[in-house]
């Protein structure tokens, strides 16, 4: 099942973030900025071309229990992860 990251789902409190179009040197800063803009209970649906394990470790270190990380898809070339902010 394909997951279209370009389809906005704002009404459901899910905001899409497609990292594939962002220069690699700016990705982590952009991701942290986007997550910081979310309120508790909101989700960022993150799309990428590879599994961002170092990023996930950084996010866990920074947000701790304030973020829930849930894989939606692990298809080759299409990693989709929901980042739910659980506290502000």
Residue 4 pLDDT: 57
Residue 11 pLDDT: 56
Contact 80, 72 (CB under 8 A): yes
Entry pTM: 0.85
Residue 1 pLDDT: 45
**DSSP state letter for 42:** -
Q: Residue-wise over 44-76: b if at least 16 C-beta within 10 A, else e?
A: bbbbbeeebeebbeebeeebeeebeeeebeeee
Structural domains of the chain, with CATH:
13-48+56-85 (3.30.110)
Per-residue confidence in pLDDT tens, the chain, 88 aa: 455 565 445 557 899 999 999 999 999 999 999 999 999 999 999 999 999 999 999 999 999 999 999 999 998 889 999 999 998 5
């Amino acid at each position: 099942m394909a997951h279209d990251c370009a389809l906005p789902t704002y009404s459901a409190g899910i905001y899409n973030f497609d990292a594939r179009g962002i220069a690699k040197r700016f990705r982590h800063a952009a991701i942290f900025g986007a997550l910081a803009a979310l309120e508790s209970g909101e989700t960022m649906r993150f799309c990428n071309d590879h599994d961002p394990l170092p990023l996930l470790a950084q996010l866990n270190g920074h947000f701790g229990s304030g973020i829930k990380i849930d894989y939606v898809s692990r298809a080759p070339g299409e990693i989709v992860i929901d980042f739910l902010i659980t506290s502000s």
